[in-house]
Chain A
Amino acid sequence: QSALTQPASVSGSPGQSITISCTGTSADVGGYNYVSWYQQHPGKAPKLMIYDVTNRPSGVSNRFSGSKSGNTASLTISGLQAEDEADYYCNSYASTNTVLFGGGTKLTVL
């Protein structure tokens, strides 16, 4: 069970948009529409931002959106704000009745 692949870091200026990718295989990301995304600020527990690829929980800003193409899922944050600076993790259900997380992406707001 290998972790999903995310870029180690991304950055953007306030007001810009950024996209974080999450690449797996046909046994996980590509095989199911069950990808979720989490935001984690330093020293805090993760927070659910997107689930089932594109769905946003109540209370999460509509600046956050998700998509998927083939074996790669993506999280897009538009209108970047300073408070968006955090680590972001994707996860996916996998065919072996397990859950795989990505290695995490550190977002820096310049």
Chain B
Amino acid sequence: EVQLLESGGGLVQPGGSLRLSCEASAFTFSSYGINWVRQAPGKGLEWVSIISADITTTYYADSVKGRFTISRDNSKNILYLQMNSLRAEDTAIYYCARRSMGSKKWNTFDLWGQGTLVTVSS
């Protein structure tokens, strides 16, 4: 089955770090750009970051720039999000989402994981 599966969420103290993973199955992972999108409890969606298929290009939302780093290992079909200097406002479900090849731009996400919850609290 074509799918994305996130892991690595949990409870972390403010100022702490966490690394999320997203494992891809049943599609050619190395051909797709992949995003992280988050959703605070009871709130809307917020785009976080994207990494290109060939790993040459990354972009970040201003809210996480300088604190979060997106990376990927195409040999293992895994996407990562290293989150440092975490704040209470980073508390959210974090989804990985595949960029659609059918769209002309990378804001179209045609495959989503089920999400992993990150809670930043003391």
A34–B103 touching, CB < 8 Å = yes
Query: Known contacts A36-B109, A45-B114; is A3 also within 8 Å of B44 by CB?
Result: yes
In the bound complex, residues from chain B placing their C-beta under 8 Å from that of A109 are none
Report the contact-size class of chain B (Cβ under 8 Å from the partner): 20 to 34
In Å, the complex CA distance between A46 and B61 comes to 19
Which of chain B's residues has its CB closest to A37's CB?
B108
* Set B47, B59, B61, B100: member contacting A48, Cβ < 8 A: B100
Query: Known contacts A89-B44, A89-B45, A101-B45; is A52 also within 8 Å of B113 by CB?
Result: no
In the bound complex, residues from chain B placing their C-beta under 8 Å from that of A101 are 37, 44-47
Q: 30 A-B residue contacts at CB 8 Å?
A: A1-B62, A3-B46, A34-B105, A34-B107, A34-B108, A38-B45, A38-B109, A40-B45, A45-B115, A46-B112, A48-B110, A51-B102, A51-B108, A51-B110, A52-B104, A55-B102, A57-B102, A91-B107, A92-B107, A93-B106, A93-B107, A99-B35, A99-B47, A99-B50, A99-B106, A100-B47, A101-B37, A101-B46, A102-B44, A104-B44
